[in-house]
Amino acid sequence: MDKPVIPHPVQLHEVIIEKINCRRIGDFSNNASYRMNFAVSSKTLNNKEAYGYLSVKVFFDNQPKVFSLEITGRGKFVDEKSPNRSKLKRFVEIQSLPLLLPWAREAVSPLTRRMGFPPLLIPLIDVSAMLRTKEVKNDG
């Protein structure tokens, strides 16, 4: 099927990893279980530009605690069409999780491998279900 590509008016222009905080606590164990928390926030720069932030934290609730990890990515979103600052902020808050998550996934896997552990793969997630259940904390 040959269909034209219709770009969205808001585009992601750049992504950087702002922060990685990681500490090895113990040795790897197959019994270690972890959970992840995701937080999103946004900051409008003007009517056409905004930053979206995604923070991912890995927690080990029980023993053995293997490592602690927090990573924050920032994306710059640009809206060339609409000068509506509040609509841009809302869009960035919703889209930061699905659009910035691949950068977090790409950074975490080799980092855990370099720490001497099997690579940790942040799982693919159902973003719309997470947003409906408010699992994603909005720090904006």
Instruction: For the chain, 140 residues long, give each residue's pLDDT as a single digit of tens.
Output: 688 888 888 999 999 999 999 998 888 887 778 889 999 999 999 989 999 999 999 988 777 788 889 999 999 999 988 778 889 999 999 999 999 999 999 999 999 999 888 888 888 888 777 667 654 555 54
Residue 13 amino acid letter: H
Bridge-based pairing state of the strands 49-59 and 137-138: unpaired
pLDDT given for residue 140 in this prediction? 46
Given this model, what pLDDT does residue 92 score? 95
Q: For the range 104-112, what are the long-range contacts, defined as Cβ-Cβ under 8 Å and sequence gap of 24 or more?
A: 104/17, 104/54, 104/56, 104/71, 104/73, 107/17, 107/20, 107/71, 107/73, 108/56, 108/58, 108/69, 108/71, 111/20, 111/22, 111/69, 112/67, 112/69
Helix then strand then coil, % of the chain, to nearest 5: 25, 35, 35
